[in-house]
Structure 1
């Protein structure tokens, strides 16, 4: 059995995710294998709007946005694994466990997010996420998402 990996450019990501600037946090998908894993990149620029206040003179990429970037990567993997949603359906970020921040992410860094499918149970899909910069872990977490109809 052979496995096939794929890449996605920003134009393809925009077709999958509803997020737009300044909240689209995945710049490119480096590789993915459906139902297994996805590796994506976020290029951290000093021009990000939140750096004006987080923190003046010592800009640090907010931890909650690292988690959001990993969650967006899980969304892309889910879309590429199970296909497009039916009209009126959404993927929701349903939960996070065991989030740990190991070191700061700063302007000029290239953050690599790797998300791995773990399991689906009772309508929730669980993923393991790890974000790295220069091969060093900056954040890791377990994330859950749910596929649901809009209220």
Structure 2
């Protein structure tokens, strides 16, 4: 599965590098490799560059979109709303963040998704998304 073909965004705003694992309608694990050459890292706290939190949230959202699309939803069939995010530690160049997306509950065309950002199996981000 190639994320770039499935998402509405285009480079440089595709914030998922690869899909590692997925089970249709159940879960998805994607990865984003953070590099010092990413233009949005270079000016974000120049003395100690960190990956912007909003871009972590966008990577989590794009991972959720990939799960929905890979599960047979069309882009026009869903809308991700009511985003809630919590950050637990900064992400630095050289880190590889894994986004693990799981359904919390699912009804026809509705439900809630939780995306957890992991760095070396440590939770660095948690996002809750509602699907309408």
Q: Same fold (TM over 0.5)?
A: yes
CA RMSD of aligned residues (A): 1.8
Structure 1 partner of 2:104: 118
Normalised by the size of structure 1, how large is the TM-score? 0.79
Q: Matches of 1:36 and 1:127 in 2, distance apart? A: 10
Q: Matches of 2:83 and 2:65 in 1, distance apart? A: 14
Structure 2 partner of 1:134: 120
Normalised by the size of structure 2, how large is the TM-score? 0.90
Structure 1 partner of 2:41: 51
Matched residues, number = 132
Q: Measure how far apart 1:84 and its partner are.
A: 3.6
Q: Matches of 2:56 and 2:104 in 1, distance apart? A: 20
Q: Matches of 1:22 and 1:47 in 2, distance apart? A: 12
- The alignment partner of 1:23 has SS state of coil
- The alignment partner of 1:26 has SS state of coil
Larger radius of gyration: 1
Structure 2 partner of 1:17: 7
Q: Is residue 75–residue 91 contact of structure 1 (8 Å, CA) maintained in 2? A: no
| 1:1-151 equivalent positions in 2, closer than 5 A | 8=1, 12-85=2-75, 89=76, 91-97=78-84, 99-120=85-106, 123-146=109-132
Q: Tell me, which stretches of 5 or more residues in structure 2 are unaligned?
A: none
- The alignment partner of 1:82 has SS state of coil
> Cα deviation per residue 1:115-146 (whole Å; 9 max; x = unaligned)?
00122458543101100111111111211233
Q: Matches of 1:46 and 1:33 in 2, distance apart? A: 32
Q: Matches of 1:52 and 1:91 in 2, distance apart? A: 34
Q: Matches of 2:119 and 2:89 in 1, distance apart? A: 9
Q: Matches of 2:65 and 2:89 in 1, distance apart? A: 25
> Cα deviation per residue 1:89-140 (whole Å; 9 max; x = unaligned)?
264331213x211111000000000000122458543101100111111111
